[in-house]
Chain A
């Protein structure tokens, strides 16, 4: 965020409390770990098939066979949530990873070279930000067909400007430091300076933000599925499940609310961990 008006000597009053990990920290990690494990091993776990309807169990509540009940076709909600985690996590992690790599690199170029490179990138950034992201996503889905890969690509492109700005700001803070000047005086090529000297100092803030971004993208994927632009229907995804329960929202809210609750808990955990990591990182930064 803008630190421009913050005096450099201002201490962070929260810095002392950060050292002690609260219960929530462990709860959040446990939940995230569980979601990741279930997502990775979903096909191996003894779960009902997420795609096979069981009309006897349609709209059923919680039963011994169906731990979270059945949806409008009687498909097992628990199993679908578990399989949906695969799609949600895959989209979030891959899109952010791609965006952070591309944006981080371009941002370092902008910060290191300044001048024309910076102006061109600032222009591109402004254009992407001024273009409504949803129109871009609809268009890309329409052109490339709706699939996991399309979604990842589209979201990655949308996240690039953010990472450019972040990496550029982080680069500016180190570009004039002694070790960079030493490398330059040594005759290192710009590319080598960026990769060897600057990148290690930019990775941390970018990674901390990327982590939070995964949570944001899980929500965005959900929103897109909600609009019918996400992962195509038979494949379970959290957003798709929530959207599918909408017609029966008032009579059978559990069809939407169970996946919604899982998504909520996951994003909450990511935000919580990300916020703490970010704070710890900031404290280290101010002690330099």
Chain B
């Protein structure tokens, strides 16, 4: 969460540099196109750097991948054979360029350990992580947005104070501790109503699937809901000081309309940024939660790949994580355009 909190500071509304000549629809489209293009170049470079870094990192790991793959008790000759088979005897740079060529043609390679195609392994893990991430985010927003709007409407009131206190507690609670408390409460002793660990696919058994993701999703959403509420509340409180809110009120619009139609939209920037960053982070695997609840998600795959020196899997997974980061940053950027006409003109 540390990093996510401040990404808003950097990648927030960009400082206007080249004003678009025309306003209106055309200007919006043009500035959007220009922005996407500039972003793409920058982020393609980020992708390359991240994947190359992970090649180097795996190279630095102590222990020899060939030894690991050949298994215990393998003769030096066998290890050498494996090394040649896996092409580990070639320099990092050559292997990296080779791998890039594979990616360009849609071939992510095969796992060292299991021989499973990387694309297949990813396809198994990503939906699991995706489901948990999306459900947890939706829950967090469902809880946070109404509480924040009402708290901003009546600052210092009962709802504001109670939700702030609870939020403070939730934000200070480490994820794994909260997960363990939930397990003790709902999966142990007489109150055992939910499975403590494990995951059932949605298409195998929808009900079991729902039951298996309740605790992980609750664990993930609680701290996020607290942060979201705090963020949206403080942004909304300052929006409510603006003249156009006074205007809307003096026109006699009902509070509900002023809050939801006039005040909410301009207050959403920080929330969208943070939520986007969090989705990106969680899609990369909520490792703690996946470990605690024994969920076969992407995070688990990545950690196992590092421990197994299975760098083909690691590469594929990191590529996915970096792509998600890139795409989400771009989507956030475009959402600013949708939300705020001022950004459209300045962009």
Contact = CB atoms under 8 A, between A and B. Distances in A.
Interface stretch (A41-49, A61-69, A78-86, A220-228): A220-228
A37 interface: no
Interface in B162-186: 168-169, 171-177, 180-181, 183-184
Contact of A130 (B50, B63, B155): B50
Contacts of B6: 162, 165-166, 209
Nearest to A129: B3
A5 B269 contact: yes
Given A135-B318, A242-B180, A1 B8 contact: yes
A17 B237 CA distance: 15
A139 B82 CA distance: 23
B12 A126 contact: no
B188 A250 contact: yes
A223 B176 contact: yes
Given A138-B303, A250-B184, A216 B1 contact: yes
Contact of B2 (A130, A143, A216): A216
B57 interface: yes
Interface hub of B49, B54, B177, B325 (most chain A Cβ within 10 A):
B177
Contacts of B111: none
B57 A135 contact: yes
A70 interface: no
Contacts of A10: 238, 241-242
A2 B49 contact: no
A2 B62 contact: no
Contacts of A12: 238
A137 to B, nearest CB: 10
Contacts of A263: 174, 177
B53 interface: yes
Given A1-B9, A1-B231, A143-B60, A249 B42 contact: no
Interface string B1-33: 111011111101100000000000000000000
A131 B53 contact: yes
A226 B173 CA distance: 14
Interface in A89-141: 122-123, 125-127, 129-136, 138-139
A130 B281 CA distance: 9
B9 A132 contact: no
B241 A268 contact: no
B9 A253 contact: no
A227 B291 contact: yes
A123 B288 contact: no
Interface in A231-267: 239, 242-243, 246, 249-250, 253, 256-257, 260, 263-264, 267
Contacts of B7: 129, 165
Nearest to B47: A130
A177 B165 CA distance: 39
A285 interface: no
Interface hub of A4, A168, A209 (most chain B Cβ within 10 A):
A4
Contacts of A200: none
B61 A142 contact: yes
A269 to B, nearest CB: 8
Contact of A139 (B60, B168, B235, B322): B60
Contacts of B62: 142-143
A2 B12 contact: yes
B271 to A, nearest CB: 10
A88 to B, nearest CB: 11
A134 B282 CA distance: 12
Given A10-B242, A143-B62, A159-B2, A227 B287 contact: yes
Interface in B238-275: 238, 241-242, 266, 269-270, 273
A14 B188 CA distance: 43
B285 interface: yes
B2 A250 contact: no
A40 interface: no
Contacts of B156: 17
B176 A226 contact: yes
A138 B307 contact: yes
Interface string B305-333: 01100000010001001100110000000
A125 B10 contact: yes
A253 B184 CA distance: 8
B287 A6 contact: no
Contacts of A161: 3
Contact of B49 (A123, A162, A216, A220): A123
A158 interface: yes
6 residue pairs, one from A and one from B, having the closest CB atoms: A165-B10, A2-B12, A268-B172, A4-B13, A250-B188, A130-B325
Interface of B: 1-3, 5-10, 12-13, 42-43, 45-47, 49-50, 53-54, 57-58, 60-63, 155-156, 168-169, 171-177, 180-181, 183-184, 188-189, 231, 234-235, 237-238, 241-242, 266, 269-270, 273, 284-285, 287-288, 291, 299, 302-303, 306-307, 314, 318, 321-322, 325-326, 340, 342
Given A130-B46, A130-B322, A223-B175, 17 more contacts: A1-B234, A2-B8, A2-B269, A4-B269, A10-B242, A123-B45, A127-B50, A130-B325, A131-B53, A132-B302, A158-B2, A161-B3, A165-B9, A219-B174, A223-B176, A249-B180, A267-B172
13 contacts: A2-B270, A123-B42, A125-B10, A129-B325, A134-B285, A139-B306, A143-B60, A143-B61, A219-B174, A223-B176, A239-B174, A246-B180, A268-B172
